[in-house]
Amino acid sequence: MSDAETAELKVLDTAQRLFDARGVQAVGMDAIRSASGVSLKRLYQLFPSKDLLVEAVLRRRDEAVRSSLAAHGERTADGPYERALAVFDWLAAWFAEPEFRGCAFINGFGELGGVSPAVAAISRDHKEALRAYFAEQTDALGAPLVLADQLSLLANGAMVVAGITGSAEPAAQAKAAARVLLDTTR
């Protein structure tokens, strides 16, 4: 049934948008229902509880971010050096979206990480994946592993500062810093 699939997509899209804008706990199931047009009954047979919906939203976003990042790297950059730097261009485009209010995993961990082991684990895995992506590039450069950690710190710091200040500048600042680190460690 493509009917069930499109309903599921509408719910996930709507929930993601509302969670991003207001946080998870400030968004009721009823708000998701009216914004998505999917009835409560259907909503609960797709996602038996709000917790499960939250986890599904985060997991889907995790996949989307990983593939978007990888695609951007392959599309715009040749070689590990350029691919590592291209992450920050990808961040810049993300920060420039008008609804941008920070990273859903950082925000979700802050809100729910202390009470939901599932959310904490998903956030941890997601951040580990970003570090692993940087590690792929630094490995290919023969650089030490700590460089990947440091690039990940710059990227996450840029997400936080861009989210809180509402500016996209941190992406470019982080990119310049990343270039210095990449050049120094060679």
Partner DNA sequence: ACATCGGGAGAACGATCGTTCTCCCGACCG
Partner DNA sequence: CGGTCGGGAGAACGATCGTTCTCCCGATGT
- C-alpha to C-alpha distance for 118 and 47, rounded to whole angstroms: 15
Q: Dihedrals φ, ψ of 131, to 5°?
A: -60, -40
CB 5, min distance to DNA, A:
12
Residue 29 binds its own copies (CB under 8 A): no
Binding-site string for its own copies from residue 96 to residue 125, where x marks contact by CB under 8 A and - marks none: -----xx--xxxxxxxxxxx----x--xx-
Residue 27 binds DNA, judged by CB under 7 A: yes
* Residue 54, CA atoms < 13 Å, CB-side half-sphere: 28
Candidates 33, 75, 72, 70; CA nearest to 50 is 33
Q: What does the alpha-carbon distance between residue 143 and residue 8 come to, in Å, rounded to a whole number?
A: 43
Q: Which does 49 bind (CB under 5 to 8 A by kind): DNA, its own copies, none?
A: DNA
Residue closer to DNA (CB basis): 25 or 67: 25
Residues of this chain, 40-99, that bind DNA according to CB under 7 A: 40-42, 44-45, 48-51
Going from the C-alpha of 18 to that of each of 15, 21, 35, 65, 177, the distances in angstroms are 5, 5, 9, 18, 33
| Closest separation in Å from C-beta 31 to DNA | 7
Single out the residue of 40, 52, 132, 176 in contact with its own copies (rule: CB under 8 A): 176
**Helices in the chain by DSSP H: which ranges?**
2-22, 29-36, 40-46, 50-76, 79-95, 104-112, 117-140, 145-165, 169-184
Element (H, E) at 166: none
Report yes or no: 148 and 60 within 8 Å, Cβ to Cβ: no
- Nearest distance from residue 96's CB to its own copies, in Å? 17
Does 25 participate in binding DNA (rule CB under 7 A)?
Answer: yes
Residue 71 binds its own copies, judged by CB under 8 A: no
For DNA (CB under 7 A), the number of binding residues is: 20
Task: Provide the binding-site residues for DNA, judged by CB under 7 A.
Answer: 4, 7, 25-30, 37-42, 44-45, 48-51
Task: Provide the binding-site residues for its own copies, judged by CB under 8 A.
Answer: 20-23, 25-26, 101-102, 105-115, 120, 123-124, 127-128, 146, 149-150, 152-161, 163-165, 169-170, 173-174, 176-177, 180-181, 184
